[in-house]
């Protein structure tokens, strides 16, 4: 890539002002370094796809809540409202981390961005494992109460059993997503800040597409021969717990991939002051040119 900023023929490549005639043929050093920075973060960025896929599968928890007892403190809570525990946990965690935990760390630095991303993936694995166990218990209760062919029947099990997995997913988001955003910001110059936030959003979009693909593959693969698929419309006939177990396996593989990419990436502090270094180099070059001009004037 460094060859892209090498001038091979000054007359053909540069105009009278020293600018590239064809920007696709000759680039500046900064443009090359920015592209290399984007390519360098792509492996770590890709680890957020499976994470986003897991987070996007919360619609199945709503289906579970429909078949569970949603009365809490004499109030019937709508099944879709339980997802609010994700946002609530995320908000509380950010406040606790910034105001309480960070000052306890040496020099108030807190966890590194890669540590936060990694812990977020670990907690998403734990949340998926809890989701599988809760669904296994819910399905067992439904069968025991004779509701296997009644998907709208309410089992004698509180929907509050879903709260732990929601809270864990919120905590995982508070660690991984915020860690991702800070990671991109620290590795890109300020001129690329829009790309930094876009990478995280783009990862979630890809994760949603991957999640849809996994759902289709699971339905087609497990529903052959007239058998109910794992994700059958009758949740009691299906095996949503198996589906959560599959997501758990994908998350564990993703965790190993993250550890490998994190080790290969190295330090995240090497280009933290990229803008300052470039500004310093530019200022030094400019000062040197002015000094040379002044010297020439004195000689003349």
What sign does the dihedral 60-64-66-67 (CA atoms) show? positive
**To which H or E segment does residue 258 belong?**
helix 240-265
> pLDDT for 153-169, tens place per residue?
889 999 999 999 999 99
Band of residue 274 on the pLDDT scale cut at 50, 70, 90: low
Q: Exposed, middle or buried by CB within 10 Å (0-12, 13-18, 19+), for 287?
A: exposed
pLDDT score recorded for residue 208:
93
Find the angle CA(96)-CA(123)-CA(198) to the nearest 5 degrees.
Answer: 80
> pLDDT for 200-236, tens place per residue?
889 999 999 999 999 999 999 998 877 889 998 899 9
- Alpha carbon distance 99, 123 (integer Å): 22
pLDDT score recorded for residue 87:
92
Q: Is the pLDDT of residue 11 over 70?
A: no
Domain ranges of the chain: 48-269
CATH homologous superfamily of 48-269: MFS general substrate transporter like domains (1.20.1250.20)
> pLDDT for 58-103, tens place per residue?
888 888 999 999 888 888 888 888 889 999 999 999 899 888 888 8
| The model's pTM | 0.84
- Alpha carbon distance 84, 221 (integer Å): 33
Which of 130-134, 191-195, 244-248 bottoms out in mean pLDDT, i.e. has the lowest? 191-195
> pLDDT for 36-60, tens place per residue?
889 999 999 999 999 999 988 888 8
Q: What is the dihedral of CA 199, 201, 205, 207, to 10 degrees?
A: 70
pLDDT score recorded for residue 117:
94
């Amino acid at each position: 890539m460094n060859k892209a900023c090498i001038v091979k023929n000054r007359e053909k490549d540069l105009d009278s002002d020293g600018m590239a005639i064809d920007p696709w043929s000759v680039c500046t050093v900064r443009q090359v370094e920015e592209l290399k920075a984007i390519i360098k973060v792509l492996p770590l960025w890709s680890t957020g796809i499976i994470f986003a896929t897991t987070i996007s599968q919360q619609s199945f928890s709503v289906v579970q809540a429909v078949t569970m007892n949603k009365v809490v403190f004499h109030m019937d809570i709508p099944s879709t409202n339980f997802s609010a525990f994700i946002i609530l946990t995320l908000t509380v965690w950010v406040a606790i981390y910034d105001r309480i935990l960070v000052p306890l760390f040496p020099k108030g630095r807190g966890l590194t961005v890669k540590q936060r991303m990694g812990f977020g993936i670990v907690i998403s694995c734990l949340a998926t494992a809890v989701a599988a166990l809760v669904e296994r218990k819910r399905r067992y209760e439904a069968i025991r109460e004779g509701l296997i062919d009644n998907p709208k029947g309410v089992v004698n099990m509180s929907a509050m059993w879903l709260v732990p997995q929601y809270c864990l997913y919120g905590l995982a988001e508070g660690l991984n997503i915020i860690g991702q955003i800070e990671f991109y910001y620290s590795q890109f110059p300020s001129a690329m800040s829009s790309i930094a936030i876009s990478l995280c959003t783009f990862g979630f979009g890809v994760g949603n597409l991957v999640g849809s693909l996994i759902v289709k593959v699971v339905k087609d693969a497990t529903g052959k021969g007239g058998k109910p698929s794992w994700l059958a419309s009758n949740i009691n006939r299906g095996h949503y717990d198996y589906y959560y177990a599959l997501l758990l396996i994908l998350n564990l593989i993703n965790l190993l991939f993250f550890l490998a990419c994190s080790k290969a990436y190295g330090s995240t502090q090497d280009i933290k002051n990229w803008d300052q270094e470039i500004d310093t180099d530019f200022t030094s070059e400019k000062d040197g040119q002015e000094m040379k001009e002044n010297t020439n004037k004195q000689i003349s």
